[in-house]
Chains A and B, each alone.
Chain A
Amino acid sequence: MKGWSRVYAVASNTWREALRNRAFIGLMIVAVGFLFFSLALAELAVRGEAARVVLDFGYFAISLFGVVIAIVMGVILVYKEIEKKTIFTIIPKPIHRHEFLLGKYLGMVVVLVIEVVVMASVWALVLWARSAPLGMDTVMGVILILLEIMVIASVALLFSSFSSPVLSGIFTFGIFILGRLSYLVGDMLVSTKGVFVNNPSLRPLGEAYVAVFPDLSVFNVSQDLLQGVSIPLDYVIASGGYALSYIVAFMAIAMLLFQRRDFI
Chain B
Amino acid sequence: MTIEDTSKSCVLELHDLHKKFSVGLRMKKVEAVRGVSLAVKSGEVFGFLGPNGAGKTTTIKMAMGLIRPSRGSLQLFGGPPDRLEARARIGYLPEHPYFYDYLKPTEILDFYARLFGIPRAERKRRIGELLEKVGLGHVQNRTLRKFSKGMLQRVGIAQALINDPDLLVLDEPLSGLDPIGRKEVRDLLVELRRAGKTIFFSSHILSDIEMLCDKVAIVHQGRIQSIGRMDDLLNSEQMSTEITFRGPDSLVNQLSSGGVEVDVLGDYMRIRLEGTTTEVLKTLLAGGAQIDSVVPKRESLEDLFVRGVVQAKDSEEAS
Stretch from A1-9, A175-183, A192-200, A204-212 at the B interface: A1-9
Interface of chain B residues 94 through 119 with chain A (CB within 8 A): 94, 96-100, 102-103, 111-112, 114-117
Contact (Cβ within 8 A) A6 B67:
no
**B68 part of interface (Cβ distance < 8 Å):** yes
Best-surrounded residue of A84, A86, A93 (most CB of chain B within 10 A): A93
**B55 part of interface (Cβ distance < 8 Å):** no
Please, how many angstroms separate the alpha-carbon atoms of A139 and B111 in the complex?
Answer: 35
Q: What is the 8 Å Cβ interface bit string for chain A, positions 100-123, against chain B (1 contact, 0 not)?
A: 000000000000000000000000
Contact (Cβ within 8 A) A262 B97:
no
Please, how many angstroms separate the alpha-carbon atoms of A84 and B66 in the complex?
Answer: 15
Stretch from A13-21, A31-39, A228-236 at the B interface: A13-21
Please, how many angstroms separate the alpha-carbon atoms of A13 and B112 in the complex?
Answer: 11
Contact (Cβ within 8 A) A9 B66:
no
Please, how many angstroms separate the alpha-carbon atoms of A8 and B114 in the complex?
Answer: 9
Please, how many angstroms separate the alpha-carbon atoms of A95 and B112 in the complex?
Answer: 10
Residues on A with beta carbons closer than 8 Å to the beta carbon of B114 = 5-6, 8-9
Residues on A with beta carbons closer than 8 Å to the beta carbon of B92 = 89, 92
Contact (Cβ within 8 A) B84 A9:
no
Interface of chain B residues 102 through 141 with chain A (CB within 8 A): 102-103, 111-112, 114-117
Residues on A with beta carbons closer than 8 Å to the beta carbon of B117 = 2, 5-6, 94
Given contacts A94-B116, A263-B66, 16 further A-B contacts (CB under 8 A): A5-B114, A9-B115, A16-B103, A84-B98, A85-B94, A88-B66, A91-B66, A92-B64, A92-B65, A92-B66, A92-B92, A93-B112, A94-B115, A94-B117, A262-B66, A264-B21
Interface of A toward B, CB cutoff 8 Å: 2, 5-6, 8-9, 13, 16-17, 20-21, 84-96, 260, 262-264
Residues on B with beta carbons closer than 8 Å to the beta carbon of A8 = 114
Interface size class of B (residues with CB under 8 A): 20 to 34
Residues on A with beta carbons closer than 8 Å to the beta carbon of B61 = 88, 263-264
Residues on B with beta carbons closer than 8 Å to the beta carbon of A16 = 102-103
Q: Chain A residue with minimal CB distance to B113? A: A9
Please, how many angstroms separate the alpha-carbon atoms of A17 and B100 in the complex?
Answer: 8
Please, how many angstroms separate the alpha-carbon atoms of A17 and B144 in the complex?
Answer: 13
Please, how many angstroms separate the alpha-carbon atoms of A86 and B156 in the complex?
Answer: 11
**B159 part of interface (Cβ distance < 8 Å):** yes
**B90 part of interface (Cβ distance < 8 Å):** yes
Residue in B68, B156, B159 whose CB lies within 8 Å of A260: B68
Please, how many angstroms separate the alpha-carbon atoms of A95 and B102 in the complex?
Answer: 22
